[in-house]
Amino acid sequence: MLSVLDAEAKILDLATLPQASEQIERLDLHLAQGRVLAETVVSPLDVPHWDNSAMDGYAVRYADVQAATAGPSATLTVIETIPAGQSPTQAVGPGQAARIFTGSMMPMGADTVVMQEMTERQAAQVRILETPEPGQFVRRQGSFYQAGHPLLFPGISLNGPEIAVLASAQYAQVRVYRQPRVAILSTGNELVQPGTPLQPGQLVDSNQYALAALVHRAGGIPMPLGIIPDQPQVLRDAIATALSQADLILSSGGVSVGDYDYVDQILADLGATLHIRAVAVKPGKPLTVATFPSGTAGATSLYFGLPGNPVSALVCFWRFVEPALRKQSGLGQGWAPGFVPATTSQPLRAGGRRETYVWGHLRMTPQGYSFEQAGGSHSSGNLVNLAGTNGLAVVPVGTTLIPAHEPVQVMMVGDLRSA
């Protein structure tokens, strides 16, 4: 068995960043949320585009107001009002001011803005009641960004702030990496679709739906291929079909050492190289990771054979598949899961021979992160108490007990909660 860290490193080495032009598409900006940027963004505009005011008030010459609090208040003549979105029509001369608003373009001659709370207006005159700092509340052209320089780089996820930057740079469309297509199939004669009346010995296939949801959340396009019976030729045909359609393949079940576990042999027959057969992790030891000859699966050729037990399948996805999927989506860094130090509210127990992941609830408290183990049985077949999980507490190899109120590393797999 490989260690968890060795398995992670090998998988991330096998996963490839998109390179070919056919792995890039152009999207309207309002459709780019969550996608990965595939081009260097350069704007033809300075930011700010021109000198403008950061406050409602009056644009003045600092030389006219620098002694406002040392003696009599400075009184200036207001020569025009400059609404946001309009150009000034006059230059501000000695003894003059212009009424200005947040975002308004600064008039020629003015170099400082006095906020309106520090003034008194009387008809066409304004009194300055407090001396401002030189250049106060003026946003200078190009002070945030100078035209022609790189603004955003490939490999970043596009969310609200990045999309705002793209819009300000006049990008109505943007080049992004194509989302990886992920084929998902469940193996087993015992499986039936949800809604099918159960016969004795049958199980509802939950993995297909859970994995599709996780793939979607991770930025991939799930391609559910249904339930494949434990028949070698049928399974071989299903995997071959997946290879022709997808960038990455997930199967659940059939990777252990039972009489009906055919996946590894079929992968070898199809020309795959098997890199991982088992990992020292609990739950999830029987994990197969394989690659196919270049070009067989389009842009990539990664195959993950996940355990059939539902908790094992999800833990393996979070720990090993999602990092690979993030890399293949084009993200330039940050592929590995995020871990935070927390305090466990209950004792956490493990066998000690494998790195053990205990599922539960991670919360932020005034004292820091707190982890609470999910109630009920922690069997790899019990997905009931997996609902609501947003953290996996890690019990390292060689450790059999982490006492209550002691530190523990927790892998984040969902939205963080507050106490």
- What CATH number corresponds to the domain at position 95? 2.170.190.11
Do both 213 and 278 map to the same domain?
yes
Look at residue 312 and tell me if it is in a domain.
Answer: yes
Look at residue 289 and tell me if it is in a domain.
Answer: yes
Q: Which helix (H) or strand (E) holds 314?
A: helix 310-316
Q: What is the pLDDT of residue 70?
A: 52
Q: Are 254 and 227 in contact (CB under 8 A)?
A: no
Cross-strand partners of 274: 290
Do both 166 and 304 map to the same domain?
no
Chain segment 221-268, per-residue pLDDT in tens: 999 999 999 899 999 999 999 998 899 999 998 776 555 578 888 998
Both structure tokens of 33: 């949320």
Do both 192 and 321 map to the same domain?
yes
Q: What is the mean pLDDT of residues 8-32?
A: 93
How many other β-carbons are positioned within 10 Å of the β-carbon of residue 264?
19
Do both 168 and 183 map to the same domain?
no
How far apart (Å, rounded) are the C-alpha atoms in residues 253 and 184? 12
Predicted confidence band of residue 22 (pLDDT cuts 50, 70, 90): confident
Predicted confidence band of residue 298 (pLDDT cuts 50, 70, 90): very low
CATH of the domain at 364: 2.40.340.10
Do both 295 and 213 map to the same domain?
yes
3-state helix, strand, coil in the chain (%, to 5): 20, 30, 45
Q: What is the pLDDT of residue 257?
A: 57
Look at residue 334 and tell me if it is in a domain.
Answer: no
Q: Peptide bond preceding 283: is omega within 30 degrees of 0, i.e. cis?
A: yes
Look at residue 94 and tell me if it is in a domain.
Answer: yes
Q: Is the pLDDT of residue 364 over 70?
A: yes
Predicted confidence band of residue 419 (pLDDT cuts 50, 70, 90): low
Domains: count for the chain? 4
Q: What is the mean pLDDT of residues 100-111?
A: 97
Q: Alpha helices, DSSP H only, in 147-305?
A: 160-168, 207-217, 232-245, 263-269
Predicted confidence band of residue 350 (pLDDT cuts 50, 70, 90): very high
Q: What is the mean pLDDT of residues 396-411?
A: 97
Q: What is the mean pLDDT of residues 142-155?
A: 96
CATH of the domain at 226: 3.40.980.10
Predicted confidence band of residue 220 (pLDDT cuts 50, 70, 90): very high
As a whole number of Å, the CA-based R_g of the chain is: 30
% of the chain surpassing 90 pLDDT: 84
Do both 119 and 215 map to the same domain?
no
How do 401-402 and 302-306 pair as beta strands?
unpaired
